[in-house]
Amino acid sequence: DNIEIVKVPGSWEMPIVARELARQKRHDAIIALGAVIRGETPHFDYVAGEAARGLAETAAGTGIPVGFGVLTCNTIEQAVDRSGAKSGNKGFEAATTAIEMANLMRRLRDPSA
Choose the catalytic residue: 23, 25, 43, 86: 43
Question: Residue 107 and residue 113: Cα distance in Å, rounded?
Answer: 6
CB contact at 8 A, 7 and 46: no
Question: Residue 75 and residue 53: Cα distance in Å, rounded?
Answer: 22
Name the nearest CA neighbour of 30 among 40, 15, 44, 42: 15
27 part of the active site: no
Q: So which residues are the catalytic ones?
A: 43
